């Protein structure tokens, strides 16, 4: 059975844009770190715990390649660790931030689950985002954006690191206008 992705679990394009705009333009000493953290979750689909576990040695950004090594940490069973290629813009954001770090074992985002959740709510409040969202909503937003673009559930499974296809189907729901489009494309036989 398919679960339906409720509206409260992902941000609209406008809400995501406002959130990322605030993260990009905030004047604060930790702005590059925060911006890279949120950009990775919202655009690459990392779990917040996976982003918090990243170390400097896991980031490989050069002129020829741009990828990160992600330790998948799903509780329901082992999922393979993954090398994820970064989109050019996200690689630039993360690359600019990691240049400030020096130790290979240094964590990129050295805050706890609670601190990162509070940070998300702070940015969300400043950006005018509803309080019903949580940090994980950025990951759900990434999944929804991938599905809207590709309509490929297997691709969502691979990118988000789901061990079972059923978990990826949460991003699949049919809008009423798509039903009408399907009937028009199918034609009528009488």
Residue 82, classed as helix, strand or coil, is: strand
Q: Would you state the pLDDT for residue 52?
A: 96
Helix pair 13-25, 113-127: axis angle to 10 deg: 100
Q: Containing domain of residue 135, as a range?
A: 7-186
Least confident of 9-13, 21-25, 69-73, 144-148: 69-73
In a domain, 50, yes or no: yes
Task: Classify residue 1: in a domain, yes or no.
Answer: no
In a domain, 134, yes or no: yes
**Angle between helix 31-44 and helix 88-98 axes, rounded to 10 deg:** 150
- Residue 102 pLDDT > 80, yes or no? yes
Residue 181: its pLDDT value, please?
Answer: 66
Q: What is the pTM of this model?
A: 0.83
Residue 110 lies in a domain: yes
- Quote the pLDDT of residue 2: 44
Per the structure, the count of domains in the chain is 1
Count of CB atoms within 10 A of residue 24's CB? 14
Whether residue 2 lies inside any domain: the answer is no
Confidence of residue 1 (pLDDT cuts 50, 70, 90): very low
pLDDT (average), residues 123-149: 91
d(CA 29, CA 101): 14
CATH number at residue 173: 1.10.443.10
């Amino acid at each position: 059975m398919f679960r339906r992705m409720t509206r409260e679990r992902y941000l609209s394009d406008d809400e995501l844009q406002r959130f990322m705009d605030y993260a990009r333009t905030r004047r604060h000493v930790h702005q590059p770190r925060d911006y890279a953290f949120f950009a990775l979750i919202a655009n690459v689909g990392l779990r917040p715990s996976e982003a918090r576990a990243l170390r400097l040695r896991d980031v490989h950004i050069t002129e020829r390649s741009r990828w990160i090594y992600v330790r998948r940490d799903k509780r329901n069973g082992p999922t393979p660790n993954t090398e994820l290629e970064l989109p050019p813009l996200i690689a630039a954001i993360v690359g600019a931030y990691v240049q400030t770090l020096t130790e290979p074992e240094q964590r990129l985002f050295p805050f706890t689950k609670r601190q990162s959740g509070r940070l998300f709510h702070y940015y969300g409040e400043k950006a005018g985002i509803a309080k019903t969202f949580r940090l994980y909503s950025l990951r759900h937003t990434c999944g929804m954006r991938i599905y809207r673009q590709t309509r490929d559930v297997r691709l969502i499974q691979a990118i988000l690191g789901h061990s079972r296809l059923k978990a990826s189907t949460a991003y699949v729901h049919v809008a009423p206008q798509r039903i009408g489009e399907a009937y028009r494309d199918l034609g009528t036989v009488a």
